[in-house]
Copies of this chain bind each other. A is one copy, B any other.
C-alpha cells in the first residue's frame, strides 16, 4: 500500500491526509494484532496519545476501522475493517482471529425481518476454547 493509496483512502472519505492518519491507518492495515490505543502509541511514539484517540475515532466514523471490546481487559481494541469479517476469540489465549468464511446475508435478512430496520453492518464475535485443553 503506497502513501498515495493511503491518502486516497482518507480523502475519498472526507478526511484530511495528515501524516498521523496515514501512519495510523497503515499501522492498522499491516498488523494483525487488534491493538489498543496505547499499544499503537508504544509503536508510534512520535504521535501523541490524544491524536491516536482522535484519529481512531475518525477512522471508526468513516467505517475503515471497528472497535472490539473484549471482555478480558477494559481497553478498546481497534481493527482495520476495510474487508468486513468476523472474529473468533480463543478464551484460553485471548487471541482474536479474523475469519470471513461465512455469508452474513441470511443473518442480515433475519435482522431486517425482526426489526424492520435497514441493516448497515455487523459485529460478530465467536468464543471458543482449545480442543486439547484439559477440561
Contact = CB atoms under 8 A, between A and B. Distances in A.
Interface of A: 60, 67, 69, 71, 86, 88, 90-91, 97, 99, 101-102, 106-108, 110-131
A135 to B, nearest CB: 9
Contact of A112 (B67, B112, B122, B128): B128
A101 B97 contact: no
Report how many copies the assembly holds: 2
A71 B106 CA distance: 24
Given A60-B71, A88-B111, A101-B110, 17 more contacts: A67-B69, A88-B114, A90-B115, A90-B117, A97-B115, A99-B114, A99-B115, A101-B114, A107-B126, A111-B128, A112-B128, A117-B130, A117-B131, A121-B126, A122-B126, A123-B123, A124-B124
Given A67-B71, A99-B111, A111-B99, A121 B131 contact: no
